[in-house]
Amino acid sequence: MSARAKAIAPLAIVIGILSFLWTEFSLNFTFHWVTVQDELAGDGQLGLPQNFHLVLPIAFISWGLFFAAGGDNAAFGKIFLACVFGSVAALITMPLAFSTADAPDFWGIALWVGVFATILVLILIAGDWYYVAGTFPAFASVFLWWIATGLDGWVPNGGGTENTVASLGDPATAGIGAGGGLLSTPWPWVWVSAFVTLVCGVILGLLSAKITAAVTPKPKTAEA
C-alpha cells in the first residue's frame, strides 16, 4: 500500500463509519424516536416528525466545510461561527421576506436574500477570523429546509396548522411540506432544526479528524 493510501484509508474508514452512524441516528430521531405519533404508516412503522427534527443532509454540508477550512481545532471554531452567522442571517431574512411580499411574488425573498448576502460579505472587514465561505452554505441550508418544509409565512398555511397525523388528510391543516405535508414546519423551527444539524456536522468533522489521528499508525523514526 502506498504512503498516500495509508494516510487516506483511515480517514475514509472513519468517515464511512460516522456517516453510517449519523444517518441511522438522525433518521430514527426524526421518524421514530421524537415524533408526534408513531403510527403514520402502520403499527409503529413510521412517525410524524415533531417541529424540531434532525435534517440528515445538512450535517454533511458543515462536515465538508470543516475539512475545507483546514480540518483542525481552528477549523471547528471558524465553521461553528460561520454556521451561527449564516443561519441567523437566514432566520432574520425569512420573516422580513414574507412580510415584504408574499406568494406568488418572489421579489420579497430575493430582496432580503440580496441584502443579507451583502452583509455577510461585508463582515469580512472585521478580520480574518470570519470565514465567509462557510456562512453562505449555512445561510443556504436554512433556506433549503424552509423550501422543503413548505415556505411557512410566504405561502398561506405553508407550515401547516396542526402537527397531528389526522391533519395530514386535510389540505386546510396539513401544509405543503415534503411528503404530502409530512415535513410541514413553522419557519422558526426550520431555523432551529437546520442550525442544530449544522452544529452536529461540525462536531462530526472534529470527531472524524480526532479519531483518524488516534488510529492512524505513526511513521517509524529512522534509527541513528
What sign does the CA torsion over 38, 41, 45, 49 have?
A: negative
- Across residues 166-175, what is the average pLDDT? 82
Cα distances (angstroms) measured from residue 158 to each of 27, 37, 53, 146, 171: 23, 21, 17, 10, 10
Q: Confidence band (pLDDT; 50, 70, 90) for 224?
A: very low
Residue 168 counted as domain residue: yes
Residue 68 counted as domain residue: yes
Residue 41 counted as domain residue: no
pLDDT at 141: 98
Q: Confidence band (pLDDT; 50, 70, 90) for 51?
A: very high
Domain region containing 78: 58-208
Domain count for the chain, please give it.
1
Burial of 67 (0-12, 13-18, 19+ CB in 10 A): middle
Residue 86 counted as domain residue: yes
Residue 82 counted as domain residue: yes
Query: 10 Å Cβ neighbour count for 107?
Result: 10
pLDDT at 163: 82
Residue 9 counted as domain residue: no
Residue 143 counted as domain residue: yes
> pTM for the whole thing?
0.93
- Across residues 178-189, what is the average pLDDT? 92
pLDDT at 3: 72
C-alpha cell at 62: 458543515
Is residue 80 within 8 Å of 198, Cβ to Cβ?
Answer: no
Residue 220 counted as domain residue: no
Whether the predicted pLDDT of 126 surpasses 90: yes
